[in-house]
Structure 1
Amino acid sequence: MPDIATVSIARPLNEVSEEIGKSFEEYGFAVIRDHGIPADLIARAEELSKAFFALPDDVKRAYFIAGGGGARGYTPFGTERAKDAEVHDLKEFWHIGRSLPEVHPLAEYMPPNIWPTEIAHFRETFEALYAAFEKAGARVLEAIALHLGLPREWFAATVEDGNSVMRLLHYPPLTGADAEGAIRAAAHGDINTITLLLGAEEAGLQLLTKEGEWKAIAVPEGALVINIGDMLDRLTNGKLRSTTHRVVNPHGEAAYRSRFSMPFFLHFRPDFTIETLESCIDPAAPEDHPAPISSHEFLLQRLREINLA
């Protein structure tokens, strides 16, 4: 069985789309090199993320929006939990979304961003990173379209002005005898279309294989980990897999220090109807596929399940 693909998307997409697509079919994951997000921008963003999470707890909590479902600003440690999990994840995070003018027809779905005044250059850095994530994500979606036999630009209209969210994520250091091997983020699947993850080089990210075994994901320095979300799984009737994954505290010295990462949850437009692609319906079982649903309604259903709405 081939391993999780590690592919350069600087190569022509028609040369790599099958390798990427097969990895998504088998594992729901692929690792992407040469993704185009500038290394100096990543370094600045990592520095500013660490600076924010180092602020006093009361300063960070001033940016928590009660009743906001975690869509923007700060979400404190011990708030989010995986679907069906009995305990909360051991993390805190900050969300940045799309900025739309008030007159935009989709503005009602996307609250305005807020920005911490304590950290210089925070807004400009993360607006630039958000745009770079979108550009990289668009190229991955082009590869997926080619793999599915669709026109290369098929996904462009489905994600234009989509409700994508960038998360700055901090797993605080753990202490005690049980720190090594502790679960920092419980087993879960992502809600969105695809997720692009920076900062997964440190050991701990694992996916659940079809055989029911946990498989560690090895990531070269600076590469992006891409995984399929539930929305794309639903669109393709499970052909591209939204795979259960988790974050486990590593063993050794790394178990006792903070872990930082930056996932970008790329979403369809809120008004896009997730309706199974005809090519992903089995002619022998034409009714065996999910019912159509708007991406916004699907998002709300899932947010309620993970304690964010």
Structure 2
Amino acid sequence: MLDTPTAEVPPLSLADEAADPAAFAAALGDSFERFGFAVVSDHGVPADLIARAWAMTEAFFALPEDTKRSYFSAGGGGARGYTPFKTEIAKGATHVDLKEFWHVGRELAKGHRFAAQMAPNVWPDQPEGFRETFIELFAALDVAGDRLLSAIARHLGLAPDWFDHAVKDGNSVLRLLHYPPVPADAAEVRAGAHEDINLITLLLGAEEAGLQLLTKEGEWLPIKPPEGAMVVNVGDMLQRLTNHVLPSTTHRVVNPAPERRGHSRYSMPFFLHPAPDFLIETLPSTITAARPDRYPTPISAHDYLHERLVEIGLVKK
């Protein structure tokens, strides 16, 4: 299949949301309905914080393999800490992905009601300032995510604060991704074709070529955000909640052109999840005669997440 250079995910500015919430919600919703993706600038996450996070990410992944693996929990399902190279596999794929990653979750108070479902964070001894940087970045992405969910709610005809109860103390995850240099004869790709599990994903670092989405026409479309913009995409939980009005689009990260194969690629997706006890139940407004309910049986966010983690090899049955 060929790329489609004439199609493009339109750039949006979250700054417009404050001036005209309805217009921004319509533009965001239109982008999601067409592509399952949006490109959003002026998202409010400070540039200096992002730069610090990139430096921390590169420094951590440059550590010796034994040091990194000391933060890996074999029975933890990749929920927190380090996951080694060639561990995750896309659903239905035959080759594992060419990546290693680190997960940061929500910091919960002692005795929190979700402590059994949301593991405590693992923090490395180095680089210095790692914990403080990523707690701050997690909080900033949480705020940006709340603003985007408010716009999504408006687009769906819901109250702007509809998602607030869903994501309060949600099981969101910040993933620090490292795709090492790729051998010329690699049979695998950096990240096989897949869909995300969560409500929405906020991605930093897509300026480096490689991310592609599968269009409704069956063609792979490269995503090329402006410098500093984030890429936002619909996850399977939101697709299920909206009865596929907002589609969770298949996407992948392909291997680079020959001249870039000796370079690493880094990205930071923030997977915005609802709370574990949130019930994913089809919104009545998305059910019509032409669009019958695909999911008549509700499921909790925790149970749905577990099902999907088994499928991608992070949790064993």
TM band (smaller chain) = over 0.9
2:95–2:188 CA contact under 8 A, matched in 1: no
- Tell me, in whole angstroms, the C-alpha distance in 2 between the residues paired with 1:39 and 1:288: 41
Q: Does 1:102 align with 2:107?
A: no
Structure 1 SS opposite 2:232? strand
Name the residue aligned to 2:71: 63
- C-alpha contact 1:29 1:227 (8 A) present in aligned 2: yes
Report SS of the residue matched to 1:246. Answer: strand
Measure how far apart 1:250 and its partner are.
2.2
Q: Is the 8 A contact 2:243 2:295 kept in 1?
A: yes
Please give the secondary structure, in 2, of the residue aligned with 1:253.
Answer: helix
Aligned to 1:283: 289
Q: Cα deviation per residue 1:62-95 (whole Å; 9 max; x = unaligned)?
A: 0001200000000000100000111110000000
State the alpha-carbon separation in 1 of the partners of residues 313 and 108 from structure 2.
26
> Residues of 2 paired with 1:78 and 1:129: CA distance?
26
Deviation at 1:291, TM superposition (A): 2.0
The change in CA–CA distance for 1:25 and 1:115 in structure 2 (over 3 A counts) is same
Q: Does 1:6 align with 2:14?
A: no
Partner of 2:33: 25
TM-score (structure 1 length as normaliser): 0.96
Counterpart contact for 2:275–2:301, Cα < 8 Å: yes
Q: Does 1:114 align with 2:122?
A: yes
**Which one of 87, 90, 104 corresponds to residue 79 of structure 1?**
87
CA distance in 1, matches of 2:10, 2:116: 38
Q: Spell out, residue by residue over 1:248-305, the C-alpha distance to the aligned partner (whole angstroms, 9 max, x if none).
A: 1221422221000000000011000000000100135645435210000000000000
Unaligned runs of 5+ in 2: 1-5
1:259 is matched by which residue type in structure 2?
R
Q: CA RMSD in A?
A: 1.5
Distance 1:285 1:21, change over 3 A: closer
Give the total of aligned pairs: 307
Where structure 1 has 5 or more consecutive residues not aligned to the other structure, the ranges are none
1:152 to 154, 160, 175: 160
C-alpha distance in 1 between matches for 2:249 and 2:292: 24
Kindly provide the amino acid, as one letter, of the partner of residue 167 in structure 2: V
In structure 1, the residue matched to 2:146 is: 138
Cα gap change, 1:288 to 1:302, in 2 (>3 Å) = closer
Aligned with 1:294 (options 300, 307, 315): 300
Tell me whether 1:189 sits opposite 2:186 in the alignment: no
Structure 1 residue aligned with 2:170: 162
Which sits farther off after the overlay, 151-160 or 250-259?
250-259
* 1:107 aligned counterpart, secondary structure: coil
Quick one: which amino acid aligns to residue 257 of structure 1?
H
Q: What one-letter code is carried by the residue in structure 1 that aligns with 2:15?
A: A
The 3-state SS of whatever aligns with 1:206 is: strand
- What TM-score, normalized to structure 2? 0.94
Using the alignment, how far apart are the partners of 2:57 and 2:139 within structure 1? 17
1:99–1:110 Cα contact (<8 Å) kept: no
CA distance in 2, matches of 1:172, 1:3: 28
Instruction: Work out the percentage of aligned pairs sharing the same amino acid.
Output: 61
